[in-house]
Structure formats: C-alpha cells, structure tokens
Amino acid sequence: MNFLEERIVKDGIVKEGNVLKVDSFLNHQMDVELFREMGEEFKRRFAGKEINKILTIEASGIGIACVVALVFNVPVVFAKKSKSINVDGDMYVADVESFTHKCKNQVIVSKKYLGKDDHVLIIDDFLANGCALQGLISIVNQAGGTVEGIGIAIEKGFQVGGQVIRNLGYQLESLAIVDSMDASTGEIVFRKQ
C-alpha cells in the first residue's frame, strides 16, 4: 500500500451509496503535509511534461491543487460554480453534474486566466463518473490550451470515469484506485498499480 492508501484505510469511512468519506484529512480538515507528498508523487509521474498551470474545480479540489501548484511552482486556477445563466463572453463555461450532490452546475473560468499557451495539469480529489473532469477538459479545449495530464487523489475504479478518461487518451494518474468498498464491513480493496 502507498502512503495515500494507508491513510484511506486508517481514516476513510465507507458510506452507503458508494461514497467514501475522507473529511478528516482530505476535504474538510486538510492534511497539507499529505498533500505535499501527493504533489511530489505527481511531479514524479508527470516528469518530462511542460506544465505551466494547474486547473481544478471548486470546492474540494482547491486545497490539494494549491499544494500541488507549490510543488510544481506554477499558478493554480479553479473553475467556479456559477448559478447565473447570464455568464458573459469573458468566461469559458462547461456543464458539470455533481456525483455527491446530484445536481447540475455550470462552471466558469475567466478567459484572463487560461489561454492557448497554457499546458495544464488538471487536479481533483475524486474521480467517480468523470463529469467534473470532462467539464475541466472542455474548458481547457475552449481556451485552446493543452491538457498535459490529470492527477487524482482517489479514483473509484468501479465507476466509469477512469475508463472514459483513459480511453480519450489522457495520461490519468490516480494515487489510489478503489476497486471495491463495502459500507457494512468498511472493507476497501485497492487496485494494484
């Protein structure tokens, strides 16, 4: 088991409905030393890629993305969730369906902060069905930039997102891939990587 898998086994809680709660170290209270280790692992896995920007999505990706951005020494931009339908022309816009909240959001990024010269590493906490990632990929494409790779903390391998994104040809690196989890026993099985 790697450092993140060990932490998930120690502190993660398996909930009904295929939800893994990692509030104590990842997306409520945040263990930034763990985030730094994650950043260093992403740096190894994406060595040789010219990355000049990190992109993530509000809200729970932001903490991890900031620490990863420190390790890569590049700026970080987050896609904002927008309730307004009147988004002006200065924004890139994508629709994202939330797995945890079961609702549809528009996410926006200002054209000021993403453009054709950007070589982007997309970072997020979880990958489930891949909607959040597809929205972020769409935003980079609208900007004319390049997706150099995608770094995820926890991929739920029993949901379709990972397969969909890998089939699109992106380098997707998930630090922990959960192949199965059981809410009644709390057991979590990781994919060998």
Residue 86 or 167: the one with the smaller Cβ distance to ligand 5GP is 167
> In whole angstroms, how close is the CB of 48 to ligand 5GP at the nearest point?
27
The answer to whether the beta carbons of residues 165 and 133 sit under 8 Å apart is yes
Q: Is 93 in the site for ligand 5GP (CB under 6 A)?
A: no
Answer for which of 130, 145, 149, 157 binds ligand 5GP (CB under 6 A) is 130
Listing DSSP states for the chain in one string gives --HHHHHHHHH-EEETTTEEE-IIIIISS--HHHHHHHHHHHHHHTTT----EEEEETTTHHHHHHHHHHHHT--EEEEEEE--S---TTEEEEEEE-TTT--EEEEEEEGGG--TT-EEEEEEEEESSSHHHHHHHHHHHHHT-EEEEEEEEEEETTSTHHHHHHHTT--EEEEEEEEEE-TTT--EEEPP-
Residue 91 or 181: the one with the smaller Cβ distance to ligand 5GP is 181
Answer for which of 107, 127, 136, 147 binds ligand 5GP (CB under 6 A) is 127
Q: Is 125 in the site for ligand 5GP (CB under 6 A)?
A: yes
- Per-residue contact flags (x/-) with ligand 5GP for residues 15 to 34, judged by CB under 6 A: ----xxxx----x-------
Answer for which of 99, 107, 118, 143 binds ligand 5GP (CB under 6 A) is 99
Q: Which stretch binds ligand 5GP (CB under 6 A): 40-48, 125-133, 139-147, 169-177?
A: 125-133
Residue 18 or 52: the one with the smaller Cβ distance to ligand 5GP is 18
Q: Is 100 in the site for ligand 5GP (CB under 6 A)?
A: yes
